[in-house]
Chains A and B, each alone.
Chain A
Amino acid sequence: SSELTQDPAVSVALGQTVRITCQGDSLRSYYASWYQQKPGQAPVLVIYGKNNRPSGIPDRFSGSSSGNTASLTITGAQAEDEADYYCNSRDSSGNHPVFGGGTKLTVL
């Protein structure tokens, strides 16, 4: 099992706000990064650091962190946001990256 825990599936109504969470002890010391992956495609970075979006990522994506939990929030979810989302941070030793198990987001 992963050292980062994500809910396997989350759904959101079109245009509503959804929060995807990632829990793990290492998140008290390291920021999480978040990746969107659509079927048959490579992952795409959507959030890194405290709350930074790479160029080209819509501002409806935001990140936050509190204690051992990091969150990815999509404000006003769009149909094209339907995808798998993975968090990434460090393992308990801090030496290796580790991914959460992924959350499948369905936009209704």
Chain B
Amino acid sequence: QVQLVQSGAEVKKPGASVKVSCKASGYTFTSYGISWVRQAPGQGLEWMGWISAYNGNTNYAQKLQGRVTMTTDTSTSTAYMELRSLRSDDTAVYYCARDEAYYGSGNFGYYFDYWGQGTLVTVSS
């Protein structure tokens, strides 16, 4: 069965960096992309970016450009998300999710079919 297992909770000081991992199993890792989504306490879901596990191509949310880097290690089927220059408003649960596409009746659709369990990142002095 498909599983995405994330690394554990982190506490960081403002200005530091954090790197969250997402280990995939149960499918061919390089056949899908991985998106990262975060959720601040009591808030909604925010898409952060996407990486192709096939060729490493990335697509980042504009507001995080320059602070976020997504990478993969195909030898261990693991995706990573690094966020730098952390601020208090980066405090959130960070999720990885498998990215999938759908085409039917002339339209495309994109969706996240499997999610990791989430990693709480707390930024506090």
Contacts and interface: CB of A to CB of B under 8 A. Distances in A.
12 contacts: A30-B107, A30-B109, A35-B112, A43-B37, A45-B111, A48-B113, A50-B104, A50-B107, A88-B47, A88-B112, A95-B59, A102-B44
Interface residues of B, number: 27
Q: How large is the interface on A (under 10, 10 to 19, 20 to 34, 35 or more residues)?
A: 20 to 34
Contacts of B76: none
A42 B115 contact: yes
Main secondary structure of the interface of B (DSSP, over half): strand
The 6 A-B pairs with the shortest beta carbon distances in the complex, nearest first, are: A31-B109, A33-B111, A48-B111, A49-B102, A42-B115, A99-B45
Main secondary structure of the interface of A (DSSP, over half): strand
A86 B47 CA distance: 12
Interface of B: 35, 37, 44-47, 50, 59, 61-62, 95, 97, 100, 102, 104-105, 107-113, 115-118
